[in-house]
Amino acid sequence: MLTGFWTACYPAWPLKTPLVQAFGPGITATLSETLAGPRGAALLEVSALGIPTPPGFVVTSLVGRRLEESGAYPCEVGGALRSAVAKLEGQCGRTFGRGEKLLLLGLRLSAKVMLPTFGSSVFNLGLNRALLPQLAAERGELFALEAYCRLLASFGSAVLRVQRRGESIDPFLRIRRTFLERSGPGVTQLPLPELAQVADEYERIILERTGSPMPAEPWDQLETVVRVAFTAWHSDRTKRVLRRTRVRAGEAGLALILSRMVYGNLAPGDGAGFLTTRDVSAGAPGLSGDLLEGGQPEDVSGGSSPTTAVSGGPASLEATRPELHEKLESLAALTERHFGDAQHLGFVIEAGELFIVEAKNARRSARAALRIAVDLVREGVIAKERALLLVNPDDLEAQLRPVIDPGESARVMLVQGLPASPGAASGRVAFSTEEVEARRQRGESVIFVRTETTPADVHALRLAQATLTVLGGLTSHAAVVARTLGKPCVVGARSLSIDLVQRRFTTPAGHTVQEGELITLDGSSGEVYRGELSQVEVRSAGEYHELLGWADEVRTLEVRANVDSAEDARLARELGASGVGLCRTEHMFLDDRGLRSMRALLLAESPKEREAALDEMALTQRSDFAGLLRAMSPLSVAVRLLDPPLYEFLPKSEAEVEALALSLSLTVEEIRRRRDALVERNSMLGLRGVRLGLLFPEIYEMQVRALFEAALIVAEDAVAPRLELIIPFVAFADELAEARRLVDQTAKEVLAASERGREIRYRVGAMIETPRAALTADGVAEHAEFFSFGTNDLTQMALGFSRDDSGRFVPKYLQRGILTADPFRRLDREGVGRLLTMAAELGRKTRPELEIGLCGEQAAEREGIRLALDLRLDYVSCSPYRIPGAKLAAAQLALEKKLS
């Protein structure tokens, strides 16, 4: 009986699954990744393509499954190994553990996740002291002894685990270093006598630490290595670690690759190396990689020895061994076509002969990914659909922004925060709006640095090149505004401490930066550097538009934009929005003029003053709305009525209070008193959204009036967009019903007064952002023509995470594996997703034709889009710069759905 954790890791198994599968010349069998691991499966495919690989065999993950099923290591493995080795002996004309031409084996692990419970590769299995003379006779004494030392060290580390807990360096490495140092500086190869001593020392340390000598019998070596690898993999410790990594079922199995050892040092010009079939930094076609002459592939990554470039330059392989280079090029093309992607290949030149020892899809930079994907299609290597899957949607957003020049080496990192809005920017530090303004007027670039931002800082956020805050999470005020503005932003740089008296900030590492000094921040990584680092534009317009065009052909989900101004709206259209999914009207009150009129309203003494303030606000709103509607005509525009607690509009600092008192001819005490009357302990859960609308109906009335008047103005010379009015923060169906009456009444009044009134179509819906609204969505849908899912607030309330404060513990939760992603970045499918699922089901029960959209930061992200597709939502809506990524993700998921 299969029980417990591993059961879930193994999918249904084919009946005639082999324990062992050979590869090499003439063998065309392949295996799934589940059985052979990714490395093993790729090697089998490469070999099946007829590409030369050192012959060998894969011990499949079936061994692990049997082990798990029976609780004991399966006895049939021994027999399987013997017959596999026998076949290999025939293939190579060599014999294992005897004879003149020894068959030595190398072992590599093949698994999706690498774990610390077993070392890495083991070399020269099948060698022992007694066989050294045979090997020496074939390859020379030095080669033989080196090979033996390598067996001892790799077997001792990987299988016998001789390294002690707390020991900082592998003991075999330590011994070899001691001998090398003794031999004098610059020595890399020990002479024979010293090498013999090293071998003795290696044997001694194995005996000393394990209590037994190194197993000499070749079959004993081979069987031990296989048994230990599988049993370690199936230990409780591995399971604990695996559970943390949340690996998916069927992906956790281990397979082993055993193959004839190939050597990059048998003839002059031999060597080993790695290459990528295309440049992975910028994406240009052509091989790119290095060869270590006289070395093995595993030595290349060590990086201590000088290497030769594969392509380019007079010393490169291309120049010196053009026939080999051509061969590599043709293998590269073959593998690219076969795997449908740029490849990373490991190769060895043994006695002038080329062997591919590893193949996998090449990792690449965001910039390279786009170029490679489009080039592969242009070259006819892959289809468009495949290309769409080769680009990470998050990287697409980065294509629109400059990045720090990868060549910039003189970087001094000051602090690492959360990457809140992508792109790089340099500028002079400014701590206040006044300072930002002054420096901008002098034509300087500015980075606005602040403990946290409030609506009063929006002006500075707009003016500055980028913003850096000490507090706040990925959906804090600064982050949201910066993303909307498309400006780089780093938030939650908690270790940074601002001293406003000395006008400087300091870091724990002892850096001090005065106001006015230059810094550079990278909003994609959250890193902040001293000085001005040079930046490069990444965008490759041709590829970019080509790929997005393909995405549009494939995707089914509509992508709208969150915009707050006409300027945003134009940007959104340019970036491909099919409408406005969310206009947060409060953002219209965040500039100087808007904020002043809102404050005047909140502090009005008499009904007359109140009315005057409302009139002024109405004018502002009407012209803002008219601009936005005109920019989006004839697409639909969803406008959310005022949402945030009124308190947020009032001044916080004493200086602001004083300034406001002056401008409104009120006393400071008066302003303080009124502000304090509006204070709430937990403003996120307070008097906001529809509650404001019902308790202060004049505000919603003014907004609705302004919106419909604006629509009438636009209708004069253009097609007025269809309006969607979103009522925020609904928890009770009756809240929506009352707000709806107010909207309908006001709209009727405004529209009745104009002949064009009949041209304005509108609908009223609810923002589903309290858990209760989701739980009672059937009742809410009675009054809503559409739902707009607000995942930010819903996440806050479902999880009890304030987005402003969660930066305190989310990073630690990520470290400990309690969270796998920041829930404000990636939608919490299990919790929040469940609420949204209920909301969609209940809402459609009442109103089958209910339109539903997903708004907010997570809407542009893969999990959010997956949910939108799963729930058959009508659209997602995100900030303009995230539209391309959202479209690509929607296309990818549509393809995924089609394939599954």
Please identify, using beta-carbon distances, which residue of 281 and 683 lies nearer to a second copy: 683
Please identify, using beta-carbon distances, which residue of 212 and 682 lies nearer to a second copy: 682
CB of residue 475 to a second copy, shortest distance in Å: 12
Contacts of 575 (CB under 8 A, 6+ apart): 561, 880, 881, 883, 884
- What is the C-alpha to C-alpha distance for residues 716 and 626, in angstroms, rounded to an integer? 11
What is the SS3 assignment for 23?
Answer: strand
Cβ atoms < 10 Å from Cβ of 173: 12
Q: Would residue 149 show up in a list of annotated catalytic residues for this protein?
A: no
CB of residue 787 to a second copy, shortest distance in Å: 16
CB of residue 497 to a second copy, shortest distance in Å: 9
With CA atoms as reference, report the closest residue to 637 among 571, 712, 561.
561
Give CA 145 to chain center in angstroms: 46
Write the DSSP symbol of residue 89: H
Q: Name the H helices within 539-667.
A: 541-554, 566-574, 592-602, 607-632, 654-664
Encode 183-252 in three state secondary structure. Answer: CCCCCCCCCHHHHHHHHHHHHHHHHHHHCCCCCCCHHHHHHHHHHHHHHHHCCHHHHHHHHHHCCCCCCC
Please identify, using beta-carbon distances, which residue of 598 and 836 lies nearer to a second copy: 836
Encode 440-478 in three state secondary structure. Answer: HHCCCCEEEEECCCCHHHHHHHHHCCEEEECCCCCCCHH
Among 234, 344, 477, 587, the active-site one is 477
- What is the C-alpha to C-alpha distance for residues 261 and 119, in angstroms, rounded to an integer? 18
- What is the C-alpha to C-alpha distance for residues 220 and 97, in angstroms, rounded to an integer? 10
What is the SS3 assignment for 640?
Answer: strand
Please identify, using beta-carbon distances, which residue of 98 and 652 lies nearer to a second copy: 652
Please identify, using beta-carbon distances, which residue of 129 and 834 lies nearer to a second copy: 834
Please identify, using beta-carbon distances, which residue of 386 and 829 lies nearer to a second copy: 829
The amino acid sitting at 131 is: L
CB of residue 689 to a second copy, shortest distance in Å: 8
Q: Are 162 and 128 in contact (CB under 8 A)?
A: no
- Quote the Cα angle for 407-413-417, to 5°: 115
With CA atoms as reference, report the closest residue to 641 among 593, 690, 599, 713.
690
Please identify, using beta-carbon distances, which residue of 238 and 806 lies nearer to a second copy: 806
Contacts of 734 (CB under 8 A, 6+ apart): none
CB of residue 505 to a second copy, shortest distance in Å: 15
Helices 541-554 and 366-378 pack at an angle, to 10 degrees, of 70
Q: Are strands 875-878 and 558-562 parallel, antiparallel or unpaired?
A: parallel
CB of residue 509 to a second copy, shortest distance in Å: 19
CB of residue 732 to a second copy, shortest distance in Å: 6
β partners of residue 529: 413, 520
Which residues bind to a second copy, rule: CB under 8 A? 680-687, 689, 691, 694-695, 729, 731-732, 734-735, 738, 769-772, 775-776, 779, 793, 796-802, 804-806, 808-809, 812-813, 816-819, 828, 830-832, 834-835
The amino acid sitting at 761 is: R
Please identify, using beta-carbon distances, which residue of 356 and 456 lies nearer to a second copy: 456
Among 489, 583, 855, 878, the active-site one is 855
Please identify, using beta-carbon distances, which residue of 302 and 817 lies nearer to a second copy: 817
β partners of residue 256: 59, 109
CB of residue 178 to a second copy, shortest distance in Å: 38
Q: Are 388 and 876 in contact (CB under 8 A)?
A: no
Block residue for tokens 């020595």: 187
CB of residue 449 to a second copy, shortest distance in Å: 17
The amino acid sitting at 693 is: G
Q: Are 276 and 362 in contact (CB under 8 A)?
A: yes
Please identify, using beta-carbon distances, which residue of 53 and 776 lies nearer to a second copy: 776
CB of residue 798 to a second copy, shortest distance in Å: 4
Q: Would residue 511 show up in a list of annotated catalytic residues for this protein?
A: no
- What is the C-alpha to C-alpha distance for residues 874 and 531, in angstroms, rounded to an integer? 46
Give me the active site residues, please: 477, 855
